[in-house]
A and B are shown apart, each in its own frame.
Chain A
Amino acid sequence: GESVGLHLPTLSVQEGDNSIINCAYSNSASDYFIWYKQESGKGPQFIIDIRSNMDKRQGQRVTVLLNKTVKHLSLQIAATQPGDSAVYFCAERNTGGFKTIFGAGTRLFVKA
């Protein structure tokens, strides 16, 4: 079936360092990808998105890279802060639709 993401890994970084979180997707029909942040006991929070006709998109301190050849997404967080500690999920869907499929997620720990 459709699947996005890997088994839940953990990434530990030092405050101020850059973080890179990776995700693989398998549904080549998906043309819209989103990164979400989820803090403990809360719902997912939108971070940044990218369409399949782009390979890079930048936001405030975050950058998403899309490599359609190998079906790979990454989220880069610059100057990581303690408040960035959370679980990050990549997700996919078709731009014309609403159905969002989530990947396995990565837990980010930021050490002060």
Chain B
Amino acid sequence: GAVVSQHPSRVICKSGTSVKIECRSLDFQATTMFWYRQFPKKSLMLMATSNEGSKATYEQGVEKDKFLINHASLTLSTLTVTSAHPEDSSFYICSAPLRTGEYNEQFFGPGTRLTVL
């Protein structure tokens, strides 16, 4: 089946620094990818839709300047958390869709655990 990877799987950084998280579709191309964040014992919250070759579409309440998204190629989207603060600590998950049969199936990455000290 289709595989989506994320790097790094875990990152710890100091407050005020920026952190880049990569999402790759390993064996298929994705013109669209999605970024979610998940707090402990909570559901996945959609942050933004990453569009290859154009600007990302952000969900209401998500700061565009805080969470920079770049979809540079058909297999790579990056999320940069700028000037990270402890409240940005979360589990970040990306997904990429692939049409399988009659459905658009979503394939999720393994997630990136961000801890901001």
Interface residues of chain A, those whose CB is within 8 Å of chain B, are 1, 5, 8, 32, 34, 36, 41-46, 49, 89, 95, 97-105, 107
Contact with A8, one of B34, B36, B42 (Cβ below 8 angstroms): B42
26 contacts between A and B (CB under 8 A): A8-B42, A32-B103, A34-B106, A36-B108, A43-B4, A43-B6, A43-B108, A43-B110, A43-B111, A44-B108, A46-B105, A46-B106, A89-B43, A95-B103, A95-B104, A98-B49, A98-B97, A98-B104, A100-B46, A102-B43, A102-B44, A102-B45, A102-B46, A104-B43, A105-B42, A107-B41
Would you call B76 an interface residue if the criterion is a C-beta within 8 Å of the partner chain's C-beta atoms? no
- How many chain-B residues does the 8 Å CB contact rule pick out? 26
Assembly CA distance A27 to B88 (angstroms): 29
From the candidates B4, B95, B109, name the one contacting A100 in the complex (CB within 8 A). B95
